[in-house]
Amino acid sequence: MTKRILASAFIALLCAAPAQAADPLASLSYLVGTWSCTYNGGGQHTTYTATYDYAWPGGGGDVGLTTYEPKGNTWTEIVAVIERSTTLFRAKGSDGAHRVYRSVYPSTLMTLIFDRISDAKYTLHFNGTYAGKTMTSYDVCTKQ
- 16-69 confidence digits (pLDDT tens): 333 456 778 788 889 989 999 999 998 899 999 988 887 555 555 678 889 899
Domains defined for the chain, CATH in brackets: 4-10+23-143 (2.40.128.20)
| Better-predicted residue by pLDDT, 3 or 39 | 39
* C-beta pairs of 141-144 under 8 Å, 24+ apart in sequence: 141/35, 141/36, 141/37, 141/38, 141/50, 142/35, 142/36, 142/37, 143/33, 143/34, 143/35, 143/119, 144/33, 144/34, 144/35, 144/36
